[in-house]
Structure 1
């Protein structure tokens, strides 16, 4: 194995790129909410409006979200590391003690987040030990003026802009 493909080196080097932390949620056919933590999320296209996240093949929550055919991206706030950890766990009820409401399309939106993006499943592609999941955005909004939760060099932190964003 070359050094470029050594998993420890790969993680160490790519850990120098900060990522936002999201919780992907959906409502199953039986009315039970399901969710997972995603540290890999991005916008993809404006026309049509598409976003993507990258669940691990070993995820037990991803197949339930895929079966639902829709999902809501919840951008976590700086103080929501416990929420991140809850949805990254193998707990049977990841929503225990975590307040949420439903979007107009009936998808779970977690409380006290930065923003949410409500999507229908657009496409899924295999990509090594993960999937690339594309969602077509149908509704989205900014919830709170919080700073986002970030993951960087193996730890959690926050971002403070040098100048206020125009908006």
Structure 2
């Protein structure tokens, strides 16, 4: 509940303007309750970042578990195409600038990126097996390209939302996956 409130506050106000009092108010608790569960503001912010990533992975897992999905539909879940994913990805983006100055935050972001890369790799292997196509020899590089492309789309869609609606995000991702031979 507190981490969820922190996600919402960070997405609305940005990382630097986020205050414990705002998080507590939104969570419906006192600031004392926040500090009871978290050692400091950084611990709350870290929990928010973890929750933001978990939100993305949960959406990807739900689509993947349906069994009737394409690699494309799983990867789309990372894009800010609805309120939930826009909120989660706003938190993700807020922490990247902080990671430039704080090695601990950089380590967290790198760890989360490895998790994201592994998920893309896992789903790409399943995709290739389902379609009976060869798994790329340079699988890790292909997955890095996909994650970099999606990260770029996320940034564009968050910074220039009016020019990057869901339809455009989907189209650009689909075009890229087609260009690299992953969609028919």
State TM-score, norm by structure 2: 0.23
State TM-score, norm by structure 1: 0.25
